[in-house]
Chain A
Amino acid sequence: MSTTMAVEFKLPDLGEGVHEGQVVRLHVREGESISEDAPLMEVETDKAAVEIPSPVTGTVTRCHVAEQQLVHVGDVMFTFETGEVATATESPKPMPAAATPVASRAPAPHRDRTGRRTPASPSVRRLARERGLELESINGSGPGGRVTRADVEAASGGAFTNPPDVMSAETATQRPPVIEATPVAPLAQRAARTPSNPLAIEGVEDSDDYGAIIRQPLSQARKTISNVMSTAWMTIPHVTDCNDADITELERMRREFCDPDHPDRRLTVLAFVVRAVCRAVQSVPILNASLDESSGEVIYRRYVNIGIGVETDRGLVAPVIRDADRMTVGEIADALEIISSNARSASFGVNDTRGGTYTISNAGAMGPTRYSTPIIQPGQVGCLALGRAKKMPWVVDDEIVPRLILPLSHSMDHRLVDGGREIPFIGHLIEDLQSPMRFMV
């Protein structure tokens, strides 16, 4: 006999503070079988993209979510059927002759499995009705799958596709009279003009007062970045100190060095900078601290976790090298290599970006930038941006000589760090980079 059991898989708790995410990819479809721990789905949360493995071995009898859907912790994602499959010796149960074939039975999209109607507010139902849309055909992005006004507008191709007769005479009379502006010739042509700038951007076509536009919803990751950035910018009084490090000597040694034990290892300038930062925070520990405003305390950390700002398809991410102060330059280089390969596939785990104590952004790797004003991550007090190193006319021993110069922009949280502490810190860092022998002793 075969024993089968239906198992519902709910979105598990993905880590502290993460309540929702967006389904990026479903690796299985209804009817497919999957073994335990095989990749089931990928969910992008506030923090990172998370690969969720299958909790069981079995067959997916129902997939409750679609790609791009917003899902919440506790929502049912899949229903599996587990257990032994009927053996070949058992004859299949005959279908009752009079039974309606399952396939021809009309599906009931109006109701979910529990028989409830598609959730939406009365005004959204009205909007859907006016636009001739079946509410049930729209994927709800609101809490609990609720269909929002934005969902209906997106499904009907944006507000501007409204047929003009939608506004009833009744509502038209209630509207305040609009005073027409004096027509301006170029504006009057607007509607007839085809967009001069065909952008290959996903989104809803719309228009504003000045021409055609595309509306694209913010990704979950971008929302998080924008929240973190505005919090940091509004709460942390930033001061940015701009400096140069002459890395001519470091660069020469780096290029000439060949490690027979690790012939493939790429010792980058960034690896040396990470090491130099670790050394500098040991002499000026306040740069590795954080400010706890609620308790009125400075939190000094006995560990040094360096976040490395990297650009990914999903936006800026700062994966963390843990205990970087206990690593050699070579080990740091290996860690950076892992980070940059993960950045290409944007596959960071939730924990990869947590617990940083200081952040370095290698902005110069992206192009010809020199100085900038890096924004400090909340919970940290310093952020260092490296510009692109470039040969510059430099005065050495009263002579102008070409030297390789690395621009450094260093932001500090002025609530906790004054120039009196930051300047020795950055001085220590620059000294290290200019006299690489210091790394070795």
Chain B
Amino acid sequence: MSQRTMVEALNLALDECMDRDDSVCLMGEDVGVNGGVFRVTKGLHEKYGKRRVMDTPLAECGIIGTAVGMAIHGLKPVTEIQFSGFTLQAFDQIEQNMARMRNRTQGRFTISMVMRAPFGGGIRAVEHHSESREAYWAHTPGLKVVIPSGPRNARALLAAAIEDPDPVIFYEPKAVYRAFREDVPDEHETMPIGVAEVVRPGEDITVISYGAMMRVCTEAVDDLVDIHGVDVELIDLLSVSPMDTATLAESVSRTGRCVIVHEGHQSCGIAAEVIARLNEHAFEYLCAPIRRVTCPDLPFPYFQTEKHFLPDADDVIAAVQETLAWE
């Protein structure tokens, strides 16, 4: 057990998976000699060599297309897209090949690969570096979409994603990359994909979030519990797709009230999907309309206005209080 940042924890997961399985290889822009734009692959080029840690040209569509071909032939590529905004360049390969190959070949070929990409705001970057477009991939059948919130679950989920037989979109909240350290076990650890975590059990209201917004929610929940006396149940989705409907429905059936917090745009976002599922599975227990705290339906702004654009703890507290006041 040692204290690690999320970047160090991700590096640990990549290192141990490469060590355990020779078919695991890394590819992406500057992941080799340079160690990655955020240094997630630092040291791996020296350790495993250029045949397993490959620098690619600036061509995202090529990176994903190549990886799909490698996966068909039995390798387990882990690709890094420098910023999630650049994945749109690879949209065609992700959507047409990566997601559908298993179905198209009637199960003969599975695409065991991971597409890693840092995403989300909070580091005063530009618009295509700061977006949260996980809803695109959650909408695509055949993809798993995993989003960790801290060093320990980042390591365990990345290891699980690499071991998974199907393609996994692994979005890393870069605002959390070096935000804090956490105890991460030295020995191999994985977490099941598709299982949400009840971070704090409570009885009054359920707050659901994931990624960097978990920190905002934790801050809000601390205030709500300590100052306002609200017993909040806080749930970390961890996996946006497949979604752990059972855990969410069980929680909201008890509390009757729910607020969902994410950075992605509101319309047709992950919160909308959560609401639809709660409507299907917990309808008769609802005491109030479920509220969403999200970024507005606007392109990500320049960094001067970023903090007004992103949800903060006050927004979450206000939404929780409004939901509790509804009767």
Residues of A that sit less than 8 Å from B by CB = 121-126, 142, 146, 148-150
Q: A-contacting residues of B (Cβ < 8 Å)?
A: 256, 283-288, 326-327
**Residues of A contacting B288 in the complex (Cβ-Cβ under 8 angstroms):** 121
Cβ-closest chain A residue relative to B282: A122
Checking B256, B285, B327 against A142 with a beta-carbon cut-off of 8 angstroms, the contacting residue is B327
Q: Are A122 and B327 in contact (CB under 8 A)?
A: no
Interface residue from A123, A148, A149, A150 paired with B285 (Cβ < 8 Å): A123
CA distance A10 to B283 in the complex (A): 34
Flag if A123 contacts B327 (CB, 8 Å).
no
The residue from A122, A142, A146, A150 contacting B284, defined by CB atoms under 8 A apart:
A122
List 23 A–B pairs whose Cβ atoms lie within 8 Å, in order of A's numbering: A121-B286, A121-B287, A121-B288, A121-B326, A121-B327, A122-B283, A122-B284, A122-B285, A122-B286, A122-B287, A123-B256, A123-B284, A123-B285, A123-B286, A123-B287, A125-B284, A126-B284, A126-B285, A142-B327, A146-B327, A148-B327, A149-B287, A149-B327
| Docked complex Cα distance between A123 and B285 (Å) | 5
B44 → A minimal CB distance (Å): 47
Residues of B within 8 A of A126 (CB): 284-285
Q: Which residues of A contact B285 (CB under 8 A)?
A: 122-123, 126
Please give me the residue from chain A that is nearest to B283 by CB atom: A122
Report the bound CA distance from A142 to B288 in whole Å.
12
- A146 contact set on B, CB distance < 8 A: 327
CA distance A301 to B284 in the complex (A): 57
Give the docked Cα–Cα distance between A126 and B287 (Å). 10
Nearest-Cβ distance from residue B199 to partner chain A, whole angstroms: 20
CB-CB under 8 A from A142, the residues of chain B are: 327
Known: A122-B284, A123-B286, A149-B287. 19 other contacts (CB 8 A): A121-B286, A121-B287, A121-B326, A121-B327, A122-B283, A122-B285, A122-B286, A123-B256, A123-B284, A123-B285, A123-B287, A124-B287, A126-B284, A126-B285, A142-B327, A146-B327, A148-B327, A149-B327, A150-B327
Question: What residues of chain A lie closer than 8 Å to B256, measured between beta carbons?
Answer: 123
Which of B283, B287, B327 counts the most A-chain CB atoms under 10 A from its CB? B327
Q: Which 6 A-B pairs have the closest CB atoms?
A: A126-B284, A122-B286, A148-B327, A123-B287, A122-B284, A121-B287
Chain A residues within 8 Å of B326, by CB? 121
Q: Complex formed: what's the CA distance from A126 to B284 in Å?
A: 6
Q: How far is the CA of A260 from the CA of B64 in the complex (A)?
A: 107
Interface Cβ pair total, 8 Å cutoff: 25
Q: Which residues of B contact A150 (CB under 8 A)?
A: 327
Q: Closest chain A residue to B250 by CB distance?
A: A174
Q: Which residues of B contact A124 (CB under 8 A)?
A: 287
Task: Name A124's closest neighbour in chain B (CB-CB).
Answer: B287
Contacts of A125 in B (CB 8 A): 284
Task: Report Cα–Cα, A146/B286, bound state, in Å.
Answer: 15
B245 to chain A, nearest CB (A): 17
Min CB–CB distance A48 → chain B (angstroms)? 26
A146 vs B256: C-alpha distance when bound (angstroms):
17
A171-B111 Cα distance, complex, nearest whole Å: 43
CA–CA, A15 to B286, complex, Å?
A: 36
Q: Which residue of A lies closest to B325 (CB)?
A: A143
Q: Which residues of B contact A148 (CB under 8 A)?
A: 327
Closest CB in chain A relative to B239 CB, distance in Å: 24
Residue in B closest to A149 when the chains form the complex, CB atoms: B327
A218, chain B: closest CB distance, angstroms: 15
Report chain A residues within 8 Å CB of B284. Answer: 122-123, 125-126
Q: Which residues of A contact B327 (CB under 8 A)?
A: 121, 142, 146, 148-150
Question: Nearest Cβ in chain A — how far from B191, in angstroms?
Answer: 25
Complex: A121 Cα to B327 Cα, angstroms: 8
A149 contact set on B, CB distance < 8 A: 287, 327
- Distance (Å) between the CB of A177 and the closest chain B CB? 16
Residues on B with C-beta less than 8 A from A122 are: 283-287
B247 to chain A, nearest CB (A): 14
B216: min CB distance to chain A, Å:
27
List A contacts of B286 (CB < 8 A).
Answer: 121-123
A16 to chain B, nearest CB (A): 23
B253's nearest neighbour on chain A, judged by CB, is A174
**What is the bound-complex CA distance between A121 and B285, given in angstroms?**
9
A141's closest neighbor in chain B, by CB? B327
A317 to B283 alpha-carbon distance, docked (Å): 45
A219–B283 Cα gap in the complex (Å)?
Answer: 33
Which chain B residue lies CB-closest to A125?
Answer: B284
- Please name the residue on chain B nearest to A122 by beta carbon: B286
Residues of B contacting A121 in the complex (Cβ-Cβ under 8 angstroms): 286-288, 326-327
Least distance between A144 CB and chain B CB atoms (Å) = 12
Which residue of chain A has the shortest Cβ distance to B288 in the bound complex?
A121
B130 CB to closest chain A CB, in angstroms? 37
- Report the separation of the CA atoms of residues A272 and B144 in the bound assembly, to the nearest whole angstrom: 83
Please indicate the chain A residues that have their CB under 8 angstroms from the CB of B283 in the complex.
122
Cβ distance B258 to chain A, nearest Cβ, rounded Å: 12
Q: Bound state CA distance, A16 and B139, in angstroms?
A: 50
State A123–B327 Cα separation when bound (angstroms).
10
Chain B residues in 8 Å Cβ range of A123: 256, 284-287
Interface centre among B283, B284, B285 (most CB of A within 10 A): B284
A124 to B288, CA, bound (A): 10
* CA of A121 to CA of B287, assembled, Å: 5
A30 to chain B, nearest CB (A): 30
**Please, how many angstroms separate the alpha-carbon atoms of A251 and B73 in the complex?**
110
Q: How far is the CA of A122 from the CA of B288 in the complex (A)?
A: 8
Kindly state the separation between the CA atoms of A125 and B288 in the bound complex, as whole angstroms.
Answer: 12
The interface residues of chain A lying within 8 Å CB-to-CB of B287 are 121-124, 149
In the complex the two chains form, what is the Cα distance from A149 to B287 in whole Å? 9
- In angstroms, Cα B287 to Cα A142, docked, is 13
The residue on B at minimum CB distance from A121 is B287
Chain B residue nearest to A151 in the complex (CB): B327
C-alpha spacing A150/B287, complex, angstroms = 12
The winner among A122, A124, A126 for most chain B CB atoms within 10 A is A122
A135 to chain B, nearest CB (A): 13
Residue of A nearest to B284 (CB): A126
B297 → chain A, closest Cβ, in Å?
27
Bound-complex Cα distance A121 to B283 (A): 9
Q: Which residue of A lies closest to B289 (CB)?
A: A121
Nearest B residue to A171 via CB reads: B253
Question: What distance in Å separates the Cβ of A142 from its nearest Cβ neighbour in chain B?
Answer: 6
How many Å lie between the Cα of A121 and that of B257 in the bound state? 11
The smallest C-beta distance from A138 to any residue of chain B, in angstroms, reads 14
Nearest Cβ on chain B to A85's Cβ, whole angstroms: 44
